[in-house]
Amino acid sequence: MWAEGRGGLVGFDGFFLTLVHNSVLHRATCGMGEKRIPVLQLGSVRWKSAGRFGPGFIQFALTGATEKRSLFGRQVWDAAGDENALLFSRRQQPAFEELRKAVEKALAARHEVATTAIRGSGPLEVITGLESLAQLLEAGKLSQDEFDVLKSRLLARLYADLALDSDQPVIGS
């Protein structure tokens, strides 16, 4: 799914968000070209609807990135210079609304997968979580990169649990 805005395009295939900038402003502020962001790295979607006289924007925040707060009346101007944002007009807004819904749905699904897979503790729960992740990978609901990240989180949790268990004395000995 693609949405064409002012000075570029935003695409979403369920796994990656693709931003393509081709305006003079972006050339001067953050460069031209294509940027692909895995859904797992997206933290939030910021939205401002287009008005009668001014554009709206969609802006994507990355997990762990520091967000810059815009001053009053400068939100659109700041978004215009952000490499993770794109402006749109009222006529273009419906396509961006559809894209926003799809991205937010994917973010919610990824969050659910991550919390379900990592929720348990102990070796059996980790093994079950790894099996669940493998099934999601085989079904095409996770990309290989997303699988690798979630698998490493599960294994780190297992190693942490094992390290804690080895520090505690065995009862009755």
Dihedral of the alpha carbons of 126, 130, 133, 137, in degrees to the nearest 10: 170
DSSP state of 6: B
Q: What is the pTM of this model?
A: 0.58
- How many Cβ atoms from other residues are within 10 Å of residue 102's Cβ? 15
Alpha-carbon distance values, 91 to 11, 45, 117 (Å): 18, 20, 41
Longest Cα–Cα distance in the chain: 77
End-to-end CA distance of the chain: 63
101: its two tokens:
């819904």
Q: What is the pLDDT along the chain (173 residues), one digit of tens a residue?
A: 898 888 889 999 888 889 888 866 555 555 567 888 888 888 888 888 888 888 988 888 887 766 666 666 656 666 666 788 888 999 999 999 999 999 988 888 876 655 555 555 567 777 888 888 888 888 888 888 888 888 888 887 777 666 655 554 544 44
